[in-house]
Structure 1
Amino acid sequence: MSDQLNPTRRGNTTQLTKDDSPFNYVLITGPGRSGTTWLGRMMDSYEHCSYKFEPFVRSPLYREWKNDLESGDVKELRRRFASLCSNFDHDVDLPPFPAKSFRWQNPQLLHLLYGLGSRVEALKPLYHWYGHTKLTSETPILIKDVNFPTPLLPRLCEVLQPKLIGMIRNPFGRIASTLKGKQLNQFSQRSQSDKIEGMRRSIDAVGGNFLAEYRDRLEEMSDMQLDAVIWRIQVEPLVEYTRSYDQGLVVVYEDLCNDPQSKITEIFNFVGWELGQTTRDFINESTTGERQLSDQSKAYFSVYRDPRTSMSKWKTQLTDEQQADIASVIRDSPLKDLWSDLPL
């Protein structure tokens, strides 16, 4: 890609010492429906990490921190974030609760208190109190956050210095999965005009000639073509920044589906964790096939499915016309060669 796509923050950066960094962070991010939840669950099986699930989406406290990210003092931001992660929060410390070296609490009781807190707001402090445990510098903090804005990633990485995992899925699979979610009413849908205006703002935020050929003719495009442009807006700058960041790793969902055991070994080596039997067992359990669930929404978000079937569903979910519309936009993507089976 050209330099014009690079969202790297300009100007001076503040170097942090180990004393400024009480925790080692690992951040998984990527567009929705790209496998980030599945990877997060795999990595959460590591017995020494504390897992924070979509904090910038679910928690007002973490969102407030994110809002201060660009203008705040680096050391103060670092201190505040460590304080947030040290707490046990109903919004981001979610079941299931795999065995952890630092957790003494009974998992069944944690489940019970979480459920009570979900029903009665006044009971959430009880969940926070019982679930709290002291974390040390030896406890990695694993954060999974979907759709974290790429223009903010350089600043977040400057402040937290995480190992960054950018996860992506092929555009046909991701669009087909999102389309299925819309049919199940899992996503709120904006008006066409609001959608197009948001796309223009995103294109302008990257700057240069990024997707300039589409900017002024979005109104003329089909829904599938618009979704393909959105994929490029979300994925191309994320991949470029992750590749340029010295602690970054791009993970392709289809590679994880094809060989989960080998890929998770590579990922654990990247973050410096020892791969154990618990993680291998979870992978075996989660890939044996789709669980039959009566609730379609739970089935849609389930991590228990045959990954080889899941990654290829788009071939039957999308019509030939829909595939052709997506291909007309993706053909020029610098990332298209990451997948060998795209109908381009």
Structure 2
Amino acid sequence: MGGMGKSQQSANPKTIMIFGSPRSGTTWLGKIFDSHPQSHYLHEPEIAQPTTVPVFPPDEALAITQLATDIGGWLNARDVRTTGTRPIIRKKGESAFHHALRQANIYAFKGMERLIPSMAMAGPVLQPPSKALTLMVIKTVNMLGRATLCLQAVPRLQGIHLVRHPCGQIASIMRGIEKFGERFELSNSALPYSPMGKREGLKPQDLAHLSPVEILAWKWAAFNDAAFQSLSDSDRAIIVSYEDMTCDPLGSVQQMFTQLGLEWAPEVEAFIRASSEGTEHDSHYGLKRDPRLAALRWQSELSADTVKTIEMICRKTAVGRWAFNVGTGDMADGINKVTSSLSSG
């Protein structure tokens, strides 16, 4: 009952991967896709089933072979961390009883997870029926350096690269560090092996001399650069500005659906409206917030010197120049419109 195995494969659904940096709106976008009644959403499956492919693979052929296996495994994941993100949305063809049972199953695992953290990777979690399934969505914040190879590994795969302005993303991470403490946010050993690190001659010994803000700026630039350089030229990928998306969530997502050849659903519109009605003070990890305020919050938090440091590093890449292209790009136009509406309101 509710398995996603062979019947899932026979439906041959579209498969999409959402790539982005942490704190860039990827979870919000992932749950927007999850709100489609014929989708199956997989939240960071590489956490429960880690890949052995390096962050910036030196051997592309070997990486492609391994990623094909990894993605196949992720599409069939049934652990609670990957398939139990809330809100738990009822799917087409799922009875009220099955949906209630699936919710109870997920909440039971979530409750046990508080006592035994390893339960987050436990399963199998009851899954929605697969007969009406037309879309599989994998969301990840750990695969930007391997994004291009993921598309090469699975020919039917389509990609979305969600890019948040580096100042907004870094300010959000710094808030998290201040609130929860530093865990892994400043890890940086892979940076010298990134395309950007090689171009700029970054050495492992240089990392010890970087400040936290410089590390975060390098991470934003290096990881987004690795994906942006190739995905922007791919006919199976689209680049999406988080700032543009926050200005017009409904129009932006409708455009994404059109570009990806997906059928629209009224449930998606309802979720977008419901998830955009929060305030800027909602939970750090919450989904319900005013996305325009979240996008612009950094402007009142970061000093001019901090912004200058971030800009100096990020402008070494095409994606960084795009993000800081004030006054000419769609992203900047969107930010200016939002700033005007907020100040006049």
Normalising to structure 1: TM-score of the pair? 0.76
Return the alpha-carbon distance in structure 2 between the equivalents of residues 257 and 324 of structure 1: 24
**Which of the residues 108, 112, 119 maps onto 1:116?**
108
Alpha-carbon distance, 1:217 to partner: 4.7
Alpha-carbon distance, 1:332 to partner: 3.6
Partner of 1:14: none
**Which of the residues 40, 44, 57 maps onto 1:54?**
44
User: CA contact under 8 A between 1:203 and 1:233: conserved in structure 2?
Assistant: no
Structure 2 residue 124 is matched with structure 1 residue 128: yes
Partner of 2:19: 29
RMSD: 3.6
Alpha-carbon distance, 1:48 to partner: 0.7
**Which of the residues 158, 167, 178 maps onto 2:173?**
178
Structure 2 residue 266 is matched with structure 1 residue 277: yes
Percent identity, aligned pairs only? 20
**Which of the residues 312, 315, 329 maps onto 2:313?**
329
SS in 2 for 1:266: helix
SS in 1 for 2:106: helix
SS in 2 for 1:28: strand
User: CA contact under 8 A between 2:93 and 2:132: conserved in structure 1?
Assistant: no
Alpha-carbon distance, 1:78 to partner: 5.4
SS in 2 for 1:312: helix
Return the alpha-carbon distance in structure 1 between the equivalents of residues 93 and 76 of structure 2: 12
Partner of 1:301: 285
**Structure 1 residues 65 and 137: CA distance shift in structure 2, 3 A:** farther
Return the alpha-carbon distance in structure 1 between the equivalents of residues 242 and 249 of structure 2: 10
Aligned length: 307
Partner of 1:259: 248
**Structure 1 residues 102 and 157: CA distance shift in structure 2, 3 A:** farther
Return the alpha-carbon distance in structure 1 between the equivalents of residues 11 and 152 of structure 2: 12
User: CA contact under 8 A between 1:20 and 1:78: conserved in structure 2?
Assistant: no
SS in 2 for 1:164: strand
Cα deviation, 1:285-330, whole Å, max 9, x if unaligned, reads: 111222876xxxxx00112111111111001111222222223323
**Which of the residues 232, 247, 251 maps onto 2:221?**
232
SS in 2 for 1:313: helix
User: CA contact under 8 A between 1:37 and 1:144: conserved in structure 2?
Assistant: yes
Give the 5 Å matches for 1:87-98.
88-94=78-84, 95-98=86-89
Structure 2 residue 26 is matched with structure 1 residue 42: no
Unpaired runs of at least 5, structure 2: 1-8, 55-59, 333-345
User: CA contact under 8 A between 2:40 and 2:133: conserved in structure 1?
Assistant: no
Give the 5 Å matches for 1:7-18.
none
User: CA contact under 8 A between 1:25 and 1:160: conserved in structure 2?
Assistant: no
User: CA contact under 8 A between 1:86 and 1:135: conserved in structure 2?
Assistant: no
Return the alpha-carbon distance in structure 2 between the equivalents of residues 125 and 102 of structure 1: 27
**Structure 1 residues 156 and 63: CA distance shift in structure 2, 3 A:** same
Structure 2 residue 297 is matched with structure 1 residue 313: yes
Alpha-carbon distance, 1:141 to partner: 0.9
Cα deviation, 1:11-70, whole Å, max 9, x if unaligned, reads: xxxxxxxx999442100011101110111111111111111111002x1xx325868x96
Cα deviation, 1:157-189, whole Å, max 9, x if unaligned, reads: 222231100111111111101100101116504
Structure 2 residue 147 is matched with structure 1 residue 153: yes
Return the alpha-carbon distance in structure 2 between the equivalents of residues 126 and 174 of structure 1: 31
Amino acid corresponding to residue 128 of structure 1 in structure 2: P
Q: Bigger shift: 238-247 or 330-339?
A: 330-339
Give the 5 Å matches for 1:139-218.
139-150=134-145, 152-161=146-155, 162-185=157-180, 187-189=182-184, 195=187, 198=189, 201-206=190-195, 209-212=198-201, 217-218=206-207
Amino acid corresponding to residue 156 of structure 1 in structure 2: C
Return the alpha-carbon distance in structure 1 between the equivalents of residues 70 and 309 of structure 2: 46
**Which of the residues 44, 50, 57 maps onto 1:63?**
50
Q: Bigger shift: 40-49 or 212-221?
A: 212-221
Structure 2 residue 106 is matched with structure 1 residue 107: no
User: CA contact under 8 A between 1:114 and 1:127: conserved in structure 2?
Assistant: no
Return the alpha-carbon distance in structure 1 between the equivalents of residues 267 and 241 of structure 2: 23
Q: Bigger shift: 79-88 or 282-291?
A: 79-88
**Structure 1 residues 329 and 133: CA distance shift in structure 2, 3 A:** closer
Alpha-carbon distance, 1:146 to partner: 1.2
Instruction: Work out which structure has the larger RCO, using CA pairs closer than 8 Å and 6 or more positions apart in sequence.
Output: 1
